[in-house]
């Protein structure tokens, strides 16, 4: 008579034990990957989350540089204004270079680019190309 209990090989048992933690995770919901060691977990992040964080930081940095420039404009210290203007341009360049995480961010980037006449700056062509890449990427994601 056949045995009522199925026999598991060691290989099948070990496979089930090691596969269980991987299979129990919900793909896309857990920002930590099962396959990275503790020191490596900051290396991987879903694109949307990474773009959101980069965008938020770049926008905050740009707004601070913008406020500093406005505060120093017309003031007696032309050297401080010159340094603030350089910092502002660097922050503007970084902001436009960061991928827009969504259409709202893309619209903000376009508004800023128009207001600052970015096409006239030395990094204008690269910035406009980045805006086009953002638009294509977001359009592809919306389809």
Quick: pLDDT tens for 14-50.
454 444 444 444 444 444 444 445 554 454 444 555 6
pTM: 0.62
Confidence of residue 52 (pLDDT cuts 50, 70, 90): confident
Mean pLDDT across 101-125: 91
Q: Where are the domains of the chain?
A: 47-142
Confidence of residue 133 (pLDDT cuts 50, 70, 90): very high
pLDDT(74) > 50: yes
Selected residue with higher pLDDT from 27 and 71: 71
Q: Give the DSSP H/E element, type plus range, for residue 114.
A: helix 103-115
**Of 4-13, 30-39, 56-65, 86-95, where does mean pLDDT reach its minimum?**
30-39
């Amino acid at each position: 008579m056949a045995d009522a209990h199925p026999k598991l090989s060691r290989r099948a048992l070990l496979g089930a034990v090691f596969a269980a933690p991987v299979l129990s995770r919900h793909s896309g919901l857990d920002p930590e990957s099962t396959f990275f060691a503790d020191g490596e977990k900051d290396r991987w992040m879903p694109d949307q989350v990474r773009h959101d964080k980069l965008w938020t930081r770049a926008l905050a940095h740009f707004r601070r540089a913008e406020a500093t420039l406005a505060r120093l404009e017309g003031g007696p210290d032309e050297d401080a204004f010159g340094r603030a203007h350089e910092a502002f341009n660097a922050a503007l360049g970084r902001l436009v270079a960061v991928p827009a995480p969504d259409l709202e961010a893309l619209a903000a980037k376009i508004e800023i680019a128009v207001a600052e006449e970015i096409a006239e700056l030395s990094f204008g062509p690269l910035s406009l190309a980045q805006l086009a890449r953002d638009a294509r990427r977001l359009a592809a994601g919306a389809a």
